[in-house]
Chains A and B, each alone.
Chain A
Amino acid sequence: MVAITSPAFKANAKAALADPQLQKALNHVRAGFIAKRAAAVDALPEFDALRDSARDIKNHTLANLDLYLEAYEEKVTETGGHVHYAETAGEARGLILSICQKAGARTVTKGKSMVAEEIELNEHLEAAGIEAVETDLGEYIIQLRHEPPSHIIAPAVHLTQGQIEADFRRVHTHLDPKRDLSEARELLAEARGILRQRFLEADVGITGANFLIAETGTSVIVTNEGNGDLTQILPRVHIVLASIEKVVPTLEDVSQILRVLARSATGQEMSTYTTFSTGPRRRDDPDGPDEYHVVILDNGRSDMLGSQFQDMLRCIRCAACMNHCPVYQEVGGHAYGWVYPGPMGAVLTPQLIGIDKAGNLPNASTFCGRCEAVCPMRIPLPNMMRHWREREFERHLQPVTYRTGLGVWAFLARRPRLYQFAMGIAMRVLGNLGHRRGRFRALPLAGGWTKYRDLPAPAGKTFQEQWKEKQRALAGRET
């Protein structure tokens, strides 16, 4: 939707920290998601066992992904649906546009789909003269602002109510300017009214899929609003856009994963609408689409199989990781510069757009480990961020000063006597400089630290020096 700005992460983050409306909006993230998830987890004794089960199901599926995709495809075809494979984003866009054009589509409604953001689908359709209408309330709001989503399940989480009201007034010019929009429910009612009309007149509905079930050829979407359902049952044509790793084997497998999905995402035990769709309308169906298409996208994911990043393909897009991430909580999602923010974005983005563009993302982490601790699929996110740093190191992509500094430290650390000699001198100097106040307000080469914090001064003598003195004194007394 917007240009990739991941290389400018630092500048993005700085702007985000200084943005009072964003910071006010992020307060809701800090306060809401974490407590709700914790409460839901506490209420289900089997939660951790379900995480293990969900992880194992995905691992088994990924190890046999080719076969499960084939089984899925066979079932979809059996029920009158069509499966199309796309290796690249461009191929996926082309396939979807072609289906829409064959259907003579003028308007397309869309359920929320991160994969659609990834392939920049809306722009492609609009360029061909087809109007794409986002129907998820958060997606609708950011569509009015020509912004990308800042969170993978709450796309407008970076906005205040005031900002949303301003956008509605700016765009919904056919409505009475004197109308009261001071309450959130008035904004919701306005969006409901406008979008209801768009739902009913759409020619094609495009949704993502949380899961694709191989046993039955079924696509599953999970929403709270019901917009995904109206998108997929009202128009003549339903297109499902899903990436290859969405496949799970059976209905039972989906139920295992569903039990950890909503709880991890919003703290609900089930999202309001979990919908299982299989093929176009049947002979005796009074409603439903005439055509059902599934576009299965690779876009770099097949390369993750058999690699150090395979575990990332277990991700079910719940957003628990970013909700709990101290970095995301401070800067929000746009700072990450592309579709996927937070810890999962830090691992996935370099794979999809390259580590050279996305290098900041796996580096902007303290490795606090909270993401991995809450991930329902037990994805070792910090480990994979470290793997990206290893790739950067191998390719000399890190800043020269940083690499050199660390190189000097490692050089000394591997030579204990030189280390002690050099550090002994350094600490004596720093200790002397700092002994009056016990800390530094400023220090050459330590600007990154002292800009915001005082730096405690070292004692002067190192522990090893003091220890040696003590041992010598003891020995001296013994002789």
Chain B
Amino acid sequence: MADTSSAPANAGGGRPSVGLFVTCLVDLFRPSVGFAAIKLIEAAGCRVSVPATQTCCGQPAYNSGDRKDARAIAENVIATFEPYDYVVVPSGSCGGMLKTHYADLFTGDEAWSARVAAFSAKTFELISFLVDVRGMTHVDASFAGAVTYHDACSGLRELGVKNQPRRLLKSVEGLKLVELKDADVCCGFGGTFCVKYPDISNAIVERKATAVAESGAGTLLAGDLGCLMNMAGKLQREGKAVHTRHIAEVLAGMTDEPAIGEVER
């Protein structure tokens, strides 16, 4: 049986090999995002593999002060993805962890320093990979309707993901991009924050939901499933008629699946 999850790098005739870091939320809650990401990465001329030994990026442990577990998880991730030219992540939050924070877990460790540096250097958030690394300027997709976009914090501030999603969205046929008021303000998810401090998280996401509704767009997009689930959950609790999707779904033209938190009609 062809086991593509451990294909050696560059065995595919010059096309770069990409290891897809699925992220736990995509893996568990919305696999369609993973398939959309694969379609986009392949359209960008790469071969995609999905290593089976990936689980979590370690951010929950890291942000809770548990460096030991975070480090152990990081070692597994780095080793798992070593065979590939690139590591691509459909999440700014996990992407930021892998690209900007992993080094911190290995400071002063001579044995690992080079491996971590090499790993982080070849790791990219999905949209940033398509535009900044693969030079993608447009997608072959269409989407009827007005769409608004939320800048998830980690992608924006740790990885500089801001113009790239907007560029690609504007190339989607039929799509009307409406700027969201305070698009770059946090949605209140913050990983465990939303359950540690639910009242404050609610106040923040309430404000975000109001801005989304006031944008007049029928669809909300972002690059992070955690933020998306948080915002979708609030929009639905408030009965607001907005569909929420991961940006990859729209860019890949894979919007047949019900939006987040919805069922097929």
Interface residues of B in 141-171 (CB under 8 A from A): 153-154, 157-158
Which A residue's beta carbon lies closest to that of B26?
Answer: A463
Chain B residues near A457: list those with CB within 8 A: 261
Interface residues of A in 124-161 (CB under 8 A from B): none
Contact A369 B153 (CB under 8 A): yes
Q: Is residue A271 within 8 Å, beta carbon to beta carbon, of the partner chain? A: no
How many angstroms between the C-alpha atoms of A420 and B50 in the bound complex? 14
Contact stretch, chosen from B118-126, B130-138, B198-206, B248-256: B198-206
Contact A454 B67 (CB under 8 A): no
How many angstroms between the C-alpha atoms of A372 and B1 in the bound complex? 50
Q: Is residue A71 within 8 Å, beta carbon to beta carbon, of the partner chain? A: no
Q: Is residue B180 within 8 Å, beta carbon to beta carbon, of the partner chain? A: no
When A364-B197, A438-B263 are in contact, do A416 and B63 touch as well, CB less than 8 Å?
A: no
When A436-B263, A461-B31 are in contact, do A453 and B61 touch as well, CB less than 8 Å?
A: no
Q: Is residue B83 within 8 Å, beta carbon to beta carbon, of the partner chain? A: no
Q: Indicate which residue in A368, A455, A456, A458 contacts B190 across the interface (CB closer than 8 Å).
A: A368
Give the size of the chain A interface in residues (CB under 8 angstroms).
Answer: 72
Which A residue's beta carbon lies closest to that of B199?
Answer: A14
Which A residue's beta carbon lies closest to that of B264?
Answer: A438
Contact A391 B200 (CB under 8 A): no
CB distance from A473 to the nearest CB of B (A): 11
Q: Is residue B223 within 8 Å, beta carbon to beta carbon, of the partner chain? A: no
Contact A475 B190 (CB under 8 A): no
When A406-B60, A413-B55, A471-B4 are in contact, do A13 and B32 touch as well, CB less than 8 Å?
A: no
How many angstroms between the C-alpha atoms of A448 and B29 in the bound complex? 18
Q: Is residue A94 within 8 Å, beta carbon to beta carbon, of the partner chain? A: no
Contact A456 B232 (CB under 8 A): yes
When A452-B234, A459-B32, A464-B50 are in contact, do A367 and B60 touch as well, CB less than 8 Å?
A: no
Which one of B67, B73, B196, B230 has the greatest number of beta carbons of chain A within 10 Å?
A: B196
Contact B66 A326 (CB under 8 A): no
CB distance from B229 to the nearest CB of A (A): 5
Q: Is residue B34 within 8 Å, beta carbon to beta carbon, of the partner chain? A: yes
Contact stretch, chosen from B9-17, B181-189, B210-218: B181-189
When A368-B190, A438-B258, A464-B52 are in contact, do A390 and B202 touch as well, CB less than 8 Å?
A: no
| Number of cross-chain contacts by CB at 8 Å | 219
Which A residue's beta carbon lies closest to that of B22?
Answer: A463
When A414-B76, A419-B55 are in contact, do A13 and B200 touch as well, CB less than 8 Å?
A: yes
How many angstroms between the C-alpha atoms of A439 and B31 in the bound complex? 16
When A326-B185, A369-B153, A461-B31 are in contact, do A448 and B198 touch as well, CB less than 8 Å?
A: yes
CB distance from A158 to the nearest CB of B (A): 16
Chain B residues near A403: list those with CB within 8 A: 64
Which one of A366, A398, A441, A458 has the greatest number of beta carbons of chain B within 10 Å?
A: A366
Contact A406 B64 (CB under 8 A): yes
Interface residues of A in 397-422 (CB under 8 A from B): 398, 402-403, 406-407, 409-410, 412-414, 416, 419-420
Chain A residues near B201: list those with CB within 8 A: 366, 452
Interface residues of B in 57-106 (CB under 8 A from A): 58, 60-67, 69-70, 72-73, 76
Q: Is residue B27 within 8 Å, beta carbon to beta carbon, of the partner chain? A: yes
Binary contact readout B239-265 vs A (1 if CB under 8 angstroms, 0 otherwise) = 000000000000000000010111100
Contact B190 A367 (CB under 8 A): yes
Which A residue's beta carbon lies closest to that of B158?
Answer: A369
Contact A467 B199 (CB under 8 A): no
Chain A residues near B1: list those with CB within 8 A: 471-472, 475
Contact B73 A326 (CB under 8 A): no
When A368-B153, A449-B194 are in contact, do A17 and B199 touch as well, CB less than 8 Å?
A: yes
Contact B64 A414 (CB under 8 A): no
Chain B residues near A263: list those with CB within 8 A: none
Chain B residues near A474: list those with CB within 8 A: 2
Chain A residues near B55: list those with CB within 8 A: 412-414, 416, 419-420
Q: Indicate which residue in B22, B28, B34, B186 contacts A458 across the interface (CB closer than 8 Å).
A: B28
Interface residues of A in 372-398 (CB under 8 A from B): 372-373, 386, 388-394, 398
CB distance from B38 to the nearest CB of A (A): 9
How many angstroms between the C-alpha atoms of A257 and B229 in the bound complex? 42
Chain A residues near B50: list those with CB within 8 A: 463-464, 467
Binary contact readout A462-479 vs B (1 if CB under 8 angstroms, 0 otherwise) = 111011100110110010
When A330-B204, A366-B153, A368-B153 are in contact, do A458 and B64 touch as well, CB less than 8 Å?
A: no
How many angstroms between the C-alpha atoms of A458 and B5 in the bound complex? 24
When A330-B200, A416-B52 are in contact, do A462 and B27 touch as well, CB less than 8 Å?
A: yes
The residues of B with any CB-CB pair to A shorter than 8 Å are 1-5, 22, 24, 26-32, 34-35, 50, 52-56, 58, 60-67, 69-70, 72-73, 76, 153-154, 157-158, 185-186, 188-206, 229-230, 232-234, 236-237, 258, 260-263
Other A-B contacts than A402-B64, A454-B233, 15 sampled, CB-CB below 8 A, are A13-B200, A326-B185, A326-B186, A364-B197, A409-B61, A413-B69, A416-B52, A438-B258, A438-B261, A438-B262, A448-B194, A452-B234, A456-B261, A467-B50, A474-B2
5 closest cross-chain pairs (CB), A and B:
A366-B190, A453-B233, A393-B65, A448-B195, A463-B31
